[in-house]
Structure 1
Amino acid sequence: MRSAEASGSETPICQKTCASVSNKLKANLAKDWPSPPNHWSTGKGRGNTMREITLPKSMETYIQIYRGHSEGVAPTVKRKDNCMSNVSRIKNFLVFMAHGVDRLSDWLFLKDTKRVRGWSEYISKSGRAVTTSLLFLKSVNHFLRYLFASKLRGCRLTQSDMTHIIREVTANINNLKKSVTVHQFKVKRNKLDRLPSQAELLAAMAVAEKRIPDLLDLMASNPTSITQYLLYGYLTLHWSLLYGHRPGVYANMTNTEVFEVDRRGTAEGYIIHVQDHKTAKTFGEAQLVLTVKEFSWVMRWMGIKEGLSGPQNEFFLFTTGKHASKNLNAHLKRAWADAGLETAVTFTILRTALADNIKHHQDPESRSILAKFMCHDVSTANRFYANTPGIKEGLKIHSMLRAAAAAASSEGGLPPSATSEEGSGAESSDTSSSRPVDTPDEGTGAVDSTFFRTN
């Protein structure tokens, strides 16, 4: 671990913010316990005011060393943004803990475990989703463990102090796990309720295959940004209906990767390999398998791009900036609406719909192969499949439980009252109770979920 200079500044935390935010912050910090709204944590993404918090010089230096450690070697733009967000959450914690403290360079202000608990309670009751609150706690927990191991010069916290602080944060994380689990299942259940029907998915595929060549013609004769983004929407819609990839796969696909496929393609088809995507560490490259016709759309767009004026970056779905597009969901929704479909749609919903189809209509071996191609973790999804059944799955479980009860009663495993209850009524004479009930499939039940994990 690298060490950092921690001596020097003993001044309280200062803020380099706009006047309105600064005044609100000073008023909020004048209280013993800040209360919602959290004025140094307003806004979202790059507009969040937590990013404007400035610590004393020695602490700021150490925080930046930690940030560099978290980013690692050759970080992607996404990883840099994630690390910036984590640092902002840590600064939120430090501001809370340092309120009313004159000397900060020795880090002893962190010893107040009661205040640590107060911050955890404050974060969880600040109007954030419980999963976001957990993210705050995990970010701080990771930083504290790094601080504990780094042997920072000037830090007067003892090993016992750090153990108590980390233990307090860990306990607060464990206290949230029940709420997080319940929240996750509620979110997944609501997502399943919003899945488009199979008729809509098939209609979307048919419209996309017709509209993509038409939009390419328009871009060749009369290029406009509206047509360009609608084309992006239809291309990513078509790919998502086939492969269910996350939007980062399409956004990060580069011109070089496309040209490489063009050189190595065959008369039977082409496979585009995309290196940079969310789960590349686990699944490696993501693939898009295209027929000759589908790849001809890709190469035609490559040719049209060469004749367009204005700046272009290295990505197949280029933007005028230097980074990959972050608006693909908006383009997807525009294409979905253009196709005349009304159900709300996102890449996540399409990915869930495809995973649901695979789960219901493929054998386990085929499902495993297709899930890996989707860069989809089946083991995580199975946790939700088992606990979020549709009507058909629920009735099968009901039938299995009744069959188990009947088998136990025949062997004398149930008390007389239970046996007589099971043996009475018309249902007991129905031999179909020992096999699954044949009920209409409502077509839902699969979930795609990834969860934040901290080392």
Structure 2
Amino acid sequence: MFGSSEQLEETSEVPPQTSEAPPQTSEAPPQTSEAGPSSPSFRPTSFPDHVAVLNMLLEDFKELQEGPEPAPKLINNVQSKLHRIRQFVGWMSQGNTNLGKLLFLGNIGRLRGWVKSLRTNKMSLTTTLHYLKNVRQFVVFIQETPPPSSCLSKTNLKRVVRELKASIKSWVRPVVLHQMRVKGKKDATMHSMKELQECRRLALVAIPKLLSQLEKHHTYLDQCSLFGYVTAYLASLYGHRLGVFLNMTDEQVSQAVYEPEGNDYLIKVEDHKTNESFGTAKLLLSDKEYGWFLAIIRLKRKWAKGVKLSKYVFHNTTFSADKNLTKYVKRAWSDMKLRGEATFTTLRTAVATFARDRHGEHSQERKTLARLMCHDTATSDKFYTMDLTMEQARRGRLLFEQAQKEGEESVTGTKKEEEVEEGEEDQDEEMEEEEEGDSDKKEEETAEVATSSKKKCTPSVTRSRSQKSCRVMLFPLSPHKALRMSPQKALRMSPEKLTHIIRVRRNRMVERRRK
């Protein structure tokens, strides 16, 4: 879609005339159109790689983003980020000279034209949002560490950053709606629970046959089928990402934790996407499932014939990490004659969705499953929870109807009249909680009056020395808990009402202690 990126290292061939440009060209010329003299549609633009300052800025920015020990995935992400920044710089620098002073970056009109061109292109909304965010990172980098040749003032840089932030903010709403549409399409084609169960059932039949065939005669097609069935089986159960299987090593399999009681093996994979948040990715395997991995490692050593072995369990013909596992899963899913097309992402989505719907959105069971599959529920719930299923919408409508039925009991089973009476005493609950940890000495200072259950209960009132407040005790009903209220209010109440209030507060105390 875009032109090829020029290499950053070509900084030695800098024309001397760029540093000796006429002074009248140091400022960006005024533009009659927000998009500049060219068409407002987004198109490939040439990065001015002859400017040494820009090359040095990009190289420093690249080193900052990659860090000391970048992973292959991070290197690819940084390359994509640099490509977007080069497109932006090429757009902004068109028709300008003396680019080493960076004054062309302060042209707000041309910046708005670039943003407008992003809106009219055929890229997805999330990709265009990445353009804006990456460019903002680069401008903030220049703002914090400007090169010595920069003549762009701090005020202009702040104005550019503010303009980019405003553009990003205006982009959020359509991006969220786009994500919702994508989520709706995923839900329409999501694998069912029966399909996941059928996948594991068929894999249990196919894997032993493939291992037996590979023991007799090795073919690359059978090897790919074996890897596809094994990873599809485990991905449909645990919902792990591709990286968990891709980075699983022979050493991690051999060092699996064995539990004699359940005859289980726990494999811990260290290198995966979310290891900073969740630590190692864990797979609990039965004795039969663990035997599959031991057989794969044994066959790999048999096929190598003196060639240097790969440390990864799933390997290719050169005995390095096989990065085509997704293709093998698709092929295995197709061989099982199951609906649709399966990838690690679609299987993970199905597993996470069923865990949420079956166990509840905020249940402890769902949190446990999320930790096992290294799944951040907070991230997915940002827009997943907005899209309600038919059953969830039906339950919500029922709650609305129940809330508007006059005279009916509420969800907690307490009538409205009782809730009004309880609400009059809610202000005293905080004082009750403060006194729960009081010693027995304070309780002895309270007078207790016991009356028979047949007669009306006569409350007695005393004052606490510490807070000088009144306390009413009804010994036959609640000998262990004091009821706080004014004596005049207590005397006006009937014994039945006092009994009800004590019962309600006692139940609240029990529920609070349980929590």
TM-score scaled to structure 1, two decimals? 0.77
Cα RMSD for the two superposed structures: 2.8
Question: What letter matches 1:334 in structure 2?
Answer: R
- Does the alignment pair 1:306 with 2:301? yes
1:10 & 1:120 partners in 2: Cα distance? 33
Alpha-carbon distance change, 314 to 391 in structure 1, aligned in 2, over 3 angstroms: same
Partner of residue 282, structure 2: 287
Partner of residue 391, structure 1: 390
CA offset at residue 205 of structure 1?
0.7
Structure 1 residues 311-320 or 149-158, which shifts more?
A: 311-320
Of 165, 169, 184, which aligns to 2:160?
165
Alpha-carbon distance change, 54 to 224 in structure 1, aligned in 2, over 3 angstroms: farther
1:324 & 1:94 partners in 2: Cα distance? 37
- Does the alignment pair 1:348 with 2:345? yes
CA offset at residue 294 of structure 1?
0.5
Q: Per the alignment, in what secondary structure is the counterpart of residue 385 of structure 2?
A: helix
In structure 2, runs of 5+ residues without a counterpart are 1-10, 19-35, 410-415, 417-515
Partner of residue 80, structure 1: 75
Q: Per the alignment, in what secondary structure is the counterpart of residue 308 of structure 1?
A: helix
Q: Per the alignment, in what secondary structure is the counterpart of residue 268 of structure 2?
A: strand
**Post-superposition CA distance 1:354-385 (Å, at most 9, x none):** 11221122251111111111111122333434
Partner of residue 258, structure 2: 265
CA offset at residue 91 of structure 1?
0.4
CA offset at residue 143 of structure 1?
1.1
Alpha-carbon distance change, 190 to 157 in structure 1, aligned in 2, over 3 angstroms: same
Q: Per the alignment, in what secondary structure is the counterpart of residue 406 of structure 1?
A: coil
2:378 & 2:153 partners in 1: Cα distance? 41
2:352 & 2:303 partners in 1: Cα distance? 38
CA offset at residue 73 of structure 1?
1.9
Question: What letter matches 1:329 in structure 2?
Answer: T
**Post-superposition CA distance 1:120-152 (Å, at most 9, x none):** 121232101101100111111111111111132
**Post-superposition CA distance 1:100-134 (Å, at most 9, x none):** 11221111110101111111121232101101100
Partner of residue 358, structure 2: 361
Q: Per the alignment, in what secondary structure is the counterpart of residue 209 of structure 1?
A: helix
2:264 & 2:408 partners in 1: Cα distance? 59
Partner of residue 400, structure 2: 401
CA offset at residue 266 of structure 1?
4.0
Question: What letter matches 1:147 in structure 2?
Answer: I
1:318 & 1:210 partners in 2: Cα distance? 23
Q: Per the alignment, in what secondary structure is the counterpart of residue 245 of structure 1?
A: coil
- Does the alignment pair 1:70 with 2:75? no
Partner of residue 461, structure 2: none
Given that residues 183 and 384 in structure 2 are in contact (C-alpha distance below 8 angstroms), is that contact kept between their aligned partners in structure 1?
Answer: no
Structure 1 residues 303-312 or 328-337, which shifts more?
A: 303-312
Q: Per the alignment, in what secondary structure is the counterpart of residue 176 of structure 2?
A: helix
CA offset at residue 36 of structure 1?
4.5
Partner of residue 101, structure 2: 106
- Does the alignment pair 1:39 with 2:47? no
Partner of residue 61, structure 1: 56
**Post-superposition CA distance 1:217-267 (Å, at most 9, x none):** 222222222111111111111111111011111111122222322xx4344
1:176 & 1:372 partners in 2: Cα distance? 32
Q: How does 1:44-443 map to 2 (within 5 A)?
A: 54=49, 56-261=51-256, 264-267=257-260, 268-309=263-304, 313-320=310-317, 324-362=321-359, 364-407=363-406
Alpha-carbon distance change, 95 to 377 in structure 1, aligned in 2, over 3 angstroms: same
CA offset at residue 74 of structure 1?
0.9
2:200 & 2:48 partners in 1: Cα distance? 48
CA offset at residue 351 of structure 1?
1.0
Question: What letter matches 2:359 in structure 1?
Answer: Q
Alpha-carbon distance change, 222 to 101 in structure 1, aligned in 2, over 3 angstroms: same
2:80 & 2:320 partners in 1: Cα distance? 18
CA offset at residue 38 of structure 1?
2.4
Q: Per the alignment, in what secondary structure is the counterpart of residue 290 of structure 1?
A: strand
**Post-superposition CA distance 1:180-204 (Å, at most 9, x none):** 0101111111101111222221111
Given that residues 313 and 319 in structure 1 are in contact (C-alpha distance below 8 angstroms), is that contact kept between their aligned partners in structure 2?
Answer: no
2:16 & 2:400 partners in 1: Cα distance? 66
1:133 & 1:151 partners in 2: Cα distance? 26
Given that residues 36 and 126 in structure 1 are in contact (C-alpha distance below 8 angstroms), is that contact kept between their aligned partners in structure 2?
Answer: yes
Structure 1 residues 215-224 or 241-250, which shifts more?
A: 215-224
2:97 & 2:191 partners in 1: Cα distance? 58
Alpha-carbon distance change, 351 to 69 in structure 1, aligned in 2, over 3 angstroms: same
Structure 1 residues 60-69 or 321-330, which shifts more?
A: 321-330
Given that residues 6 and 105 in structure 1 are in contact (C-alpha distance below 8 angstroms), is that contact kept between their aligned partners in structure 2?
Answer: no
Structure ranking higher in helix proportion: 1
Alpha-carbon distance change, 8 to 188 in structure 1, aligned in 2, over 3 angstroms: same
Larger radius of gyration: 2
Given that residues 308 and 319 in structure 2 are in contact (C-alpha distance below 8 angstroms), is that contact kept between their aligned partners in structure 1?
Answer: no
**Structure having greater relative contact order (Cα 8 Å, sep ≥ 6):** 1
1:236 & 1:167 partners in 2: Cα distance? 47
Given that residues 10 and 102 in structure 1 are in contact (C-alpha distance below 8 angstroms), is that contact kept between their aligned partners in structure 2?
Answer: no
Q: Per the alignment, in what secondary structure is the counterpart of residue 196 of structure 2?
A: helix
In structure 1, runs of 5+ residues without a counterpart are 13-30, 41-49, 412-455
**Post-superposition CA distance 1:330-349 (Å, at most 9, x none):** 11110001111132222121
Report the count of equivalent residues. Answer: 379
Question: What letter matches 1:125 in structure 2?
Answer: T
CA offset at residue 388 of structure 1?
0.9
Q: Per the alignment, in what secondary structure is the counterpart of residue 147 of structure 2?
A: coil
Given that residues 190 and 346 in structure 2 are in contact (C-alpha distance below 8 angstroms), is that contact kept between their aligned partners in structure 1?
Answer: yes
Given that residues 287 and 373 in structure 1 are in contact (C-alpha distance below 8 angstroms), is that contact kept between their aligned partners in structure 2?
Answer: yes
2:234 & 2:121 partners in 1: Cα distance? 39
Alpha-carbon distance change, 388 to 209 in structure 1, aligned in 2, over 3 angstroms: same
